[in-house]
Amino acid sequence: MKNSNPKILIVDDDATNIRVAAEILRQQKYNVSFAQSGKEALQKAGFISFDVILLDIMMPEMDGYEVCENLKSNPDTRQVPVIFLTAKTEPENVVRAFDVGGADYVTKPFNSQELLSRVETQVRLKKTLEKLKKANMGLQEANNTKDKMFSIISHDLLGPIGNIKESLEVLVSGVVKMNEKDMQSFIHSMWGSIGSSYTLLENLLLWARNQQGKMAYKPKYLNLTSLVKVTFNLLAGVAKQKSIELKYNLPDEQMVFADKNAVKTIIRNLVSNAIKFTGEDGVITIGTKEVKDGFLQVSVADTGIGMDKKTRDNLFKKFKNEPRWGTDGERGVGLGLVIAREFVEKNGGTIQAISEEGKGSTFNFTLPLIGGNDTMVQ
């Protein structure tokens, strides 16, 4: 088991001082290391993350002030609190200790209660600062995510819906007369725009619920082949517009142990993404194969435009990719792939993309073949 007790580094050229301080600290279960020179202290602090450093001022070659300056100039060690150990209590020495970055000081010879109290205070302050830093990073990420979501809503939802509204107003007003063929084309175009906007809105709501921990995951044994068929039926109309063939190479009953709604969303998003970036007369194929550790690998492969390395590396990162345009001008913001990754991981699997520009893309994700005692089939 990993020892989580605070780690203290004692730096002093006098072995007796080290022994006395170490005995006091170890009685309170602190993990104690020591160094007898400034150079040795900097080396140890470079590869061990200490919670507090007790640093003697008067040492040969490199005194405590210089050691502290080196620690505070290094991004990896500048946050470690330094408590100076000194027999020199003149105001100018104390002031200099704080000027070079010291957090506190303890006079020699040691008073055990004073030493423990000052060390405990700095350990507590360091942990509090780390928690605040982590919380601040979380808030910053949440704020960036909120801004990105508002951008998606304002541009990718309100824009298309506004165009549909304006087009329908023109139609209702009777300003433009259409024959039956033009009307069918107009309705077909509106249907595609509404479908894209609906899918994006659905993904936004799913993602938001998942971030809030409101998605209920109930893994059961289910027939993956049936879900693939349902998805193909749902997206057949969109694929037909681009003359894209949807194929699958699965047995009639390919069972997996996963959450049904999550798997439906994963497949739908991956196939929708493939349709978006595949040109006319292309082919999208879903296949499976068993891999190690009781998992099934599901592949969604297309003959589309592929992607470059930068796009591929950021593919599953939240709001990291720039918007991409499909082969028919469809706008993609990458949210569907982020959701797919999160849902795959919720079910214990992994996901990756294999792609080159002009050579299509293949998305491989894994799902468990077996689960607990629940044997319900859906």
Per-residue pLDDT of the chain (378 residues; tens, 9 = 90+): 345 799 999 999 999 999 999 999 999 999 999 999 999 999 999 999 999 999 999 999 999 999 999 999 999 999 999 999 988 778 888 899 999 999 999 988 888 999 999 999 999 999 998 888 888 887 776 676 666 556 555 555 655 676 677 777 777 777 777 787 777 777 766 766 676 667 667 766 766 666 666 667 889 999 999 999 998 988 888 888 899 999 999 999 999 999 998 898 899 889 988 998 999 999 999 999 999 889 999 999 999 999 988 888 888 876 555 667 778 777 665 677 888 888 899 899 999 999 999 999 999 999 999 875 444 444
Q: Which of 90, 110, 130 is the last residue of a domain?
A: 110
CB-side neighbour CA atoms (13 Å) of 199: 27
pLDDT value at position 96?
Answer: 92
Decide if 362 contacts 354 (C-beta within 8 A): yes
Residues 231 and 348 in one domain: yes
160: preceding bond cis by omega (within 30 degrees): no
Residue 49 lies inside a defined structural domain of this protein: yes
Query: Domain holding 334: CATH number?
Result: 3.30.565.10
Q: Looking at the structure, tell me whether residues 236 and 362 fall in a common domain.
A: yes
| Domain match, 222 and 352 both | yes
Q: What's the pTM?
A: 0.54
Q: How far apart are CA 110 and CA 85, in angstroms?
A: 9
pLDDT value at residue 355:
93
Find the DSSP H helices in the chain: 15-26, 38-47, 64-73, 91-99, 112-151, 158-173, 180-211, 224-241, 260-276, 309-313, 335-346
- For residue 303 the two structure tokens come to 């003959």
Are 84 and 222 members of one domain? no
Q: Which residues contact 224 (CB under 8 A, 6 or more apart)?
A: 250, 254, 255, 256, 263, 288, 296, 298, 367
Residues 226 and 375 in one domain: yes
Asked if residue 358 and residue 234 are part of one domain, the reply reads yes
Question: Given this model, what pLDDT does residue 324 score?
Answer: 75
In a domain, 247, yes or no: yes
**What pLDDT sits at residue 269?**
87
Q: By C-alpha distance, which of 340, 303, 338, 307 is closest to 324?
A: 307
DSSP labels for 231-264? HHHHHHHHHHHTTPEEEEE--S--EEEEEHHHHH
The two three-digit tokens of residue 74, written as one number: 């290094």
Instruction: Give me the pLDDT at residue 65, please.
Output: 95
* pLDDT score at 374: 45
Where in the sequence is the domain holding 101, given as residue range(s)? 7-110
Amino acid (1-letter code) at residue 283 = V
Q: Identify the CATH number of the domain in which residue 78 sits.
A: 3.40.50.2300
Residue 310: inside a domain: yes
What φ, ψ does residue 92 adopt, rounded to 5°? -65, -35
Locate 115 and state its tokens: 């030493």
Collapsing DSSP to helix, strand or coil, 220 comes out as strand
Number of domains in the chain: 2
Domain end point (choices 58, 88, 110): 110
Q: Which of 92, 110, 128 is the last residue of a domain?
A: 110
In a domain, 40, yes or no: yes
Report how far residue 73's alpha carbon sits from residue 8's, in angstroms, rounded to the nearest whole number.
Answer: 20
Residues 90 and 229 in one domain: no
Rounded Cα gap, residues 130 and 51, in angstroms: 11
Domain membership flag for residue 198: no
Indicate whether 104 and 243 sit together in one domain: no
**How far is the C-alpha of 141 from the C-alpha of 228, rounded, in Å?**
35
For residue 70, give both structure tokens.
């080196």
Same structural domain, 225 and 344: yes
Query: Given this model, what pLDDT does residue 377 score?
Result: 42
- β-strand partners of 11: 35, 55
Domain assignment present for residue 301? The answer is: yes
368 shares a domain with 221: yes
Q: In this structure, is residue 152 part of a structural domain? A: no
Question: Does a structural domain hold residue 243?
Answer: yes
